[in-house]
């Protein structure tokens, strides 16, 4: 996970440590000489998958806001978030610009589950809009996601599923669109990408796409191995009678012969 802080009047700051203090103290990992910052205003924590911000001087009157909400304990961060330390504004941005890693068109993606655009701000926070073919966001009544805000264009952004990609386009020639903190006119979205237009924010939610296996990736068919097992010996022909049955037959023959002799030579 690689992110960058963009701060007005300062060069971009790469977040490359597991713990970084932010404040007006020159000893802080992110040193910002601003009159409204505490010596240590906030602490940024990071691991392989998660980034979170912890206020360090909120009780002393040095607030921390993330996307307009004041943070009391800690807040998870994602690319595209707007952070305010007092009146100092910071924007969290992904280190790589969206769309740099485009999937090979010959390897179709397998989106096994539902793809939705979730609202992260405003009165509809939490609502999810399914993305089947396309979604338009704007203040027009014809937009699938209508936002009654005069700061937006009638049709501001358009999301489309095109083959193995989910694309977003800025339809306004004068207003900005941000993807993971980057100002873009068009971008390839990934699961978890954050979309921002003015103060309105959305997140694309989808299963992580699996690459469908191509024919060249399939293992070569192997000929079946010759059967080396020894043939089973032929079964012995079934016996006509068992040993006990032969004894009974012999006894019956002997008795019959004795009766014949008695009948023949009797007076």
Residues 6+ apart with CB under 8 A from 257: none
Measured CA to CA, the distance from residue 19 to residue 4 in angstroms comes to 14
Q: Where would I find the H helices in the chain?
A: 243-265
Distance between CA atoms of 82 and 64, rounded to whole angstroms?
11
8-state DSSP, 217: G
At residue 96, does pLDDT exceed 70? yes
Please tell me what DSSP assigns to residue 224.
P
CB 17 within 8 A of CB 27: no
Q: How confident is the model at residue 92 (pLDDT cuts 50, 70, 90)?
A: very high
Q: Comparing 108 with 37, which gets the higher pLDDT?
A: 37
* Average pLDDT score, the chain: 81
Length of the chain: 267
213, pLDDT greater than 60:
no
- pLDDT of res. 138: 94
Residue ranges with strand state E in 12-103: 13-15, 19-23, 30-31, 42-46, 51-55, 64-66, 69-70, 75-76, 82-85, 88-94
Query: In sequence order, what are the beta bridge partners of 55?
Result: 42
- Assess whether pLDDT exceeds 90 at residue 209: no
Which residues share a beta bridge with 182?
A: 179
Question: What distance in Å separates the CA atoms of residue 119 and residue 68, rounded to the nearest whole number?
Answer: 15
For residues 88 and 40, give the distance between their C-alpha atoms in angstroms, rounded to a whole number: 14
pLDDT band, very low/low/confident/very high, at 214 (cuts 50, 70, 90): very low
Percent of residues, the chain, with pLDDT higher than 70: 74
- Cα–Cα distance, 221 to 234 (Å, whole number): 35
> From CA 232, how far away is CA 129, in angstroms rounded?
67
Residue 223 has pLDDT above 80, yes or no: no
Give the Cα separation of 234 and 117 in Å (integer).
71
Quick one: pLDDT band at residue 241, thresholds 50, 70, 90? Answer: low
Q: What is the mean pLDDT of residues 82-105?
A: 78
């Amino acid at each position: 996970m690689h992110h960058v802080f963009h701060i007005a009047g300062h060069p971009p700051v790469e977040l490359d440590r597991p713990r970084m203090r932010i404040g007006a103290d020159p000893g802080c990992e992110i040193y910002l000489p601003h009159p409204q910052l505490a010596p240590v205003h906030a602490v940024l924590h990071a691991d392989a998958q998660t980034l979170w911000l912890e206020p360090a001087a909120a009780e002393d009157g040095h607030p921390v806001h993330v996307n307009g909400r004041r943070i009391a304990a800690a807040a998870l961060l994602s690319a595209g978030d707007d952070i305010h330390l007092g009146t100092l504004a910071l924007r969290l941005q992904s280190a790589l610009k969206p769309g740099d890693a485009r999937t090979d068109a010959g390897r179709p993606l397998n989106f096994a589950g539902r793809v939705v655009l979730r609202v992260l701000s405003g009165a509809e926070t939490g609502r999810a809009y399914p993305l089947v073919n396309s979604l338009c966001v704007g203040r027009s009544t014809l937009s699938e996601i209508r936002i009654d805000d005069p700061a937006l264009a009638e049709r501001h952004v358009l999301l489309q599923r095109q083959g193995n990609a989910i694309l977003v386009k800025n339809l306004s020639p004068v207003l900005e669109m941000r993807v993971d903190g980057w100002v873009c006119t068009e971008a390839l979205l990934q699961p978890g990408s954050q979309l921002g237009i003015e103060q309105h924010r959305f997140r694309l939610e989808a299963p992580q796409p699996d690459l469908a296996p191509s024919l060249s990736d399939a293992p070569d068919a192997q000929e079946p191995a010759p059967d080396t097992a020894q043939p089973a010996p032929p079964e012995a022909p079934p016996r006509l009678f068992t040993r006990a049955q032969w004894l009974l037959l012999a006894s019956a023959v002997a008795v019959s012969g004795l009766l014949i002799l008695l009948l023949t030579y009797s007076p």
